[in-house]
Amino acid sequence: MSLPAVSVSFVPADRSVGTEIVAELSRYGLDVWCDDNVLRDGRLQIDEVEEQLRRRDVLIVLLSTASERSAWQKMIVGAFCSLIAQGEHKTLLPVRLDEGRAVPLLLQGTPWIDASDRKARDIARLVAQALGITEVSPTELTAKETTQSHDDGAVRASDPPHRQPPSPSRRGTQVFAIANQKGQTGKTTTAVNLAAYLAEAGHRTLLVDMCPDADATTHLGVDAHRVGGSIYELLVNDDVAADDAIKPNLNPNLSLLPAKVDLYAADIEFTYLDQREYRLQRALEAVKPQYDFILIDCPSSLGWLTVNALTAADGVILPLQCEYFALEGMQQLLNTIRLVRDRLNPRIHLFGVVLTMYDPRTKLGTEVVREISEHFPRERFQTVIPRNVRLAEAPSFGQTILEHDPRSPGALAYKDLAEEVIARAAAIKASSA
């Protein structure tokens, strides 16, 4: 019988575990070659994986999402799982090494070997059996029978029962998600500068950075690589309190709940977190009374991070860039708001539409303003944010526009927008009192 050449990738199990398994596998006469090159700088090297698949019959992927694994490792498991789930690489053999629940969820319908918490020798036997190698049998094996497994929903069934969400605080704090799944529409610029002017007007304001690229954090002059506690820990760890992560009073009345790159992993971790739609709402509950306004800068996607923002918010502020196709994709966001309102948060509504990067010299800009006024006569803010180079350069100084150039047209526009937001929020509060 010709034995398959087996290449083992230590993803993201550590090298010592991987090496032990390789040693055990070689006892079956397999041509084992191990490599952890598929991981570099914390990223999955797809080209390297493709190369391994060309050279080898089988690539065993050791997957582990135990709680002590870093966010990067979990993210890489996610990347591998999506590669495997796409089904294009039949020779990838996924092996789950621990009880982490992400792998079964991510690999639904795709066969994987369950070697949770087995010894290296047992794992090797399970792998050999999956490869159909039974002739060479090492002695003294103690593993249970092979458990090549398909996810059949059992993991879901054993999930903790869905408890009722915590009831939102009605102490008067207004929480707004700054959202648009389209990229580069001015979400972060609006979140940071609106927050700056709300704070300047005397309102205690918290800016929550829900974007893995941490643009709002950097914009406020905070180094996202050195923040320590951040929104990520708050979302995935029940033992972290918001006060431990918040940078209070960066400017008078303006505090920041920062983000860092680990947040990229959160979308994967959410798949096995309890009450995953309510993580942010729950995290903010304790600190809400300390603020008049909480603004959440959302990422350009409608994943778990945005769903969490919409579940925690009272309203959505939607920045629309004055350009062709400004309304493109908006239906998706409006549908998502509707879904969240029906199922998760009855308070959520479209609080306002703000037009950004307006250039009065172009006919297009004027047309977009007219079109939005027709579609959203009540939601549209009268203030239109002009295209202004001062707004574009302020982030590189780690400054809000209020600090960078308070007399610039961009600054004056955000000041006006803040006044509109304050007045509209007060009107809504008065009408619902």
Binding test (CB under 6 A) with ligand ATP, winner from 9, 73, 217, 300 = 300
Specify which residues 31 forms β-bridges with: 5
Q: Does the footprint of ligand ATP cover residue 392 (CB under 6 A)? A: yes
Q: Does the footprint of ligand ATP cover residue 189 (CB under 6 A)? A: yes
Closest approach of Mg ion to the CB of residue 24, in Å: 48
Output the CA angle 294-296-298, nearest 5 degrees.
Answer: 170
C-beta closer to ligand ATP: residue 22 or 318: 318
Binding test (CB under 6 A) with ligand ATP, winner from 388, 399, 400, 408 = 388
The residue with its CB nearest to Mg ion is 188
- The H-or-E segment that residue 407 falls in is none
Q: Within positions 165 to 184, which residues make up the interface with ligand ATP, using CB under 6 A?
A: 183-184
Interatomic CA distance for residues 249 and 120, integer angstroms = 52
Closest approach of Mg ion to the CB of residue 274, in Å: 29
Q: Does the footprint of Mg ion cover residue 24 (CB under 5 A)? A: no
Work out the burial of residue 185: count CB atoms within 10 Å of its CB; fewer than 13 is exposed, 13-18 middle, 19 or more buried: buried
Q: Does the footprint of Mg ion cover residue 187 (CB under 5 A)? A: yes
Q: Does the footprint of Mg ion cover residue 209 (CB under 5 A)? A: no
Q: How far is CA 48 from CA 26, 37, 44, in A?
A: 23, 7, 8
Interatomic CA distance for residues 32 and 13, integer angstroms = 17
- Residue 73 binding target from ligand ATP, Mg ion, none, CB below 5 to 8 Å by type: none
Number of residues this chain uses to bind ligand ATP (CB under 6 A) = 19
Q: Does the footprint of ligand ATP cover residue 357 (CB under 6 A)? A: yes
Structure tokens at 243: 């006060």
| Range in contact with ligand ATP (rule: CB under 6 A) among 3-11, 150-158, 302-310, 384-392 | 384-392
| Range in contact with ligand ATP (rule: CB under 6 A) among 23-31, 36-44, 306-314, 380-388 | 380-388
Q: Does the footprint of Mg ion cover residue 193 (CB under 5 A)? A: no
User: Quick one: CA torsion of 400, 406, 411, 413, rounded to 10 degrees?
Assistant: 150
Binding test (CB under 6 A) with ligand ATP, winner from 173, 205, 356, 383 = 356
Q: Does the footprint of Mg ion cover residue 215 (CB under 5 A)? A: yes
Binding test (CB under 6 A) with ligand ATP, winner from 186, 212, 229, 365 = 186
Beta 293-297 vs 315-321: how paired, if at all? unpaired
CA count, 13 A, side-chain hemisphere, 308? 31
Closest approach of Mg ion to the CB of residue 276, in Å: 22
Closest approach of ligand ATP to the CB of residue 191, in Å: 8
Interatomic CA distance for residues 354 and 319, integer angstroms = 5
C-beta closer to Mg ion: residue 13 or 298: 298
Structure tokens at 43: 């990223």
Q: Report the sign of the C-alpha dihedral through residues 372, 373, 379, 381, in that order.
A: positive
335's CB contacts (< 8 A; 6+ apart) are none
C-beta closer to ligand ATP: residue 114 or 405: 405
- x-or-dash pattern for ligand ATP, window 302-341, by CB under 6 A? ----------------------------------------
Q: How far is CA 341 from CA 135, 171, 178, 348, in A?
A: 60, 20, 16, 6
Work out the burial of residue 164: count CB atoms within 10 Å of its CB; fewer than 13 is exposed, 13-18 middle, 19 or more buried: exposed
**Which residues of this chain interact with ligand ATP, rule CB under 6 A?**
183-189, 211, 215, 300, 356-357, 385, 387-388, 391-392, 395, 410
Residues in contact with Mg ion by CB under 5 A are 187-188, 215
